[in-house]
Amino acid sequence: MLKKLIVSDGDPIHYHLYTEEGLVLLNHFIGKEIKIEFSGKIYCKSCGKQTKKSFSQGFCYPCFRSAPEAAPCIIRPELCEAHLNKGRNIEWEQQYHNQPHVVYLAASSAIKVGVTQAANIPTRWIDQGASSAAIIARTPHRQIAGMIEVELKKRFTDKTHWQKMLRNEVLKEVDFQESFNTAQNAISAKFKDYFYLDTSLFKGRYPVLEYPLKVVSFNQEKSPSISGVLNGIKGQYLIFDASKVINVRKYQGYEVRLT
């Protein structure tokens, strides 16, 4: 059953895939021919039950409606009420959302603003395929970080252009000090005390032999398998020859066979 790739920072970044036998280092397969076959079975990543359709990258419909990992505040952190002891699962909210969070700027084809739990750095940046990134604010819980993000979305995008990211059409030189100043000047006075620029910048060194000139995204509904030479990994995407890519995170819960 596919799960999100496990990442660890390095030069290059290391990617591990969950299998029944344990974690497999995918970096070892780069430059080699591999095949991923889908059996047609899908299991909910929350409850484990078989489902006919996957919602929001791995949930059955009941869990999509009830699991804390699929709550609206995952996408819109400004809605989070974990600090008020509210949420779909209070214990889960306390463990993951009523914790220190960061607001960051990450560079790919453009500079984007984002929010994540402080403990999730640099994993968040790697998952998004960021070429570089920096923390610009630290908050005691998720909601405040989300409220800051809402204001900064007026100046920065909050989306990654995944096709450009996979073609490596990214910003080569980024002045995070200038971007930080722009963000700080744009934010409400009540949030300024949370701001500071972390000078320990992240640089993403992804294991890619060759980037595609165009991107053809795999669709499991049209084909039961994807195969070819694995040219690299970036974000949560496997990059094959012939411009083929697959978003592993999209197919969480799908039963597959890797050969």
Cβ–Cβ contacts within 10 Å for residue 190, how many?
10
Q: What is the pLDDT of residues 101-141, one digit of tens each?
A: 999 999 999 999 999 999 999 999 999 999 999 999 999 99
CA dihedral 176, 182, 185, 187 (to 10 degrees): -90
For 46-58, letters b (16+ CB in 10 Å) and e give beeeebeebbebb
Backbone angles phi, psi at 192, to 5 degrees: -65, -30
**Residue 126 has what pLDDT?**
98
Q: How far apart are alpha carbons 144 and 177 in whole angstroms?
A: 22
**Residue 21 has what pLDDT?**
87
Task: Pick out the chain residues at pLDDT < 50.
Answer: none
Q: What is the pLDDT of residues 238-259, one digit of tens each?
A: 999 999 999 999 999 999 999 9
**Residue 202 has what pLDDT?**
97
Q: What is the pLDDT of residues 43-56, one digit of tens each?
A: 999 999 999 999 99
